[in-house]
Amino acid sequence: MNKTITETSTLTLRPDLLAIAELIQPKEKVLDLGCGDGTLLRYLLDTYRITGRGIELSEQGVLACVAKGLSVRQGNLQEGLGDYPDRSFNTVILSQTLPYLNDPAFIMCEMLRVGNRAIVSFPNWGHWRCRLGLLLTGRTPVAPDLPQPWDVPPRARPLTIRDFGEFCARQDIRITAEIYLQGPHRIPVRRDKNLRATTAIFELK
């Protein structure tokens, strides 16, 4: 596969976004949910020549996307996904947004309705530092790759790699690929991944 990656875009992309990008095929139709400032979408457009769309709740994020020349609509994910017919996209991405969803089961179902597959990433509260911090301090841990206090809006709901695996099993969602990061570094897919990974990335069908 021939992928032309510019030095500038590679240097400015977070490790988790780079890992997601590696799962994308050239010229796919991609929908990025909670796309933030559009950094990932812009990279995919420039590097993989995808057809990209985004949905973002914050006005600041939408304005940043527009400034990057992206096609992004402002709105709630639960309402925005309903406007798309079945199999409108090859891939639907939900990057670092899962902990903020009120109804993750509904959103996952909608993602797999409008897309042939879904890619989901989230910070892992099962990391050993989170467990040790709770044990030693008695305070709610902050996820290693999401340094946000519990009371700062929008409020995240902690989840672990094991939580997500059990959730997918209950929802009859098939995990077809797994990537685990410890900071910027890949770690092997092993039994201790829930202890070692700070961020998890899954491909779902």
Q: 191 CB contacts (<8 Å, ≥6 apart)?
A: none
pLDDT reported for residue 12: 77
The C-alpha atoms of residue 104 and residue 127 are separated, in whole angstroms, by 22
The percent of residues in the chain predicted with pLDDT above 70, rounded, is: 95
Q: Where are the domains of the chain?
A: 7-204
Q: What percent of the chain has pLDDT over 90?
A: 77
pLDDT for the residue 199: 97
Higher pLDDT pick, 108 / 9: 108
Task: Taking residues 184-199, report their average pLDDT.
Answer: 94
Q: Are 110 and 81 in contact (CB under 8 A)?
A: yes
pLDDT score recorded for residue 2: 41
Q: Average pLDDT in the 146-175 region?
A: 91
Q: Give the pLDDT of residue 115.
A: 97
Q: List CB contacts of 20: < 8 A, sequence separation 6 or more.
A: 40, 93, 95, 119, 121, 201
Name the band, by pLDDT with cuts 50, 70 and 90, for residue 113.
very high
What is the mean pLDDT of the segment spanning 58-74?
Answer: 94
pLDDT value at 3 more than 50: no
Quote the pTM value: 0.90
Fold of 7-204: Rossmann fold (3.40.50)
pLDDT(146) > 80: no
* Mean pLDDT across 22-33: 97
Contacts 24+ apart (CB under 8 A), 129-137: 131/195
What confidence score (pLDDT) does residue 22 get? 95
Instruction: Determine the average pLDDT of the residues in 169-183.
Output: 96
Instruction: Provide the pLDDT for residue 177.
Output: 97
- List, in sequence order, the alpha helices (H) in 50-160: 59-67, 77-80, 104-114, 128-137
At residue 163, the pLDDT reads 97
Report pLDDT digits (tens) over 6-20. Answer: 443 554 789 999 999
84: pLDDT confidence band, cut at 50, 70 and 90? very high
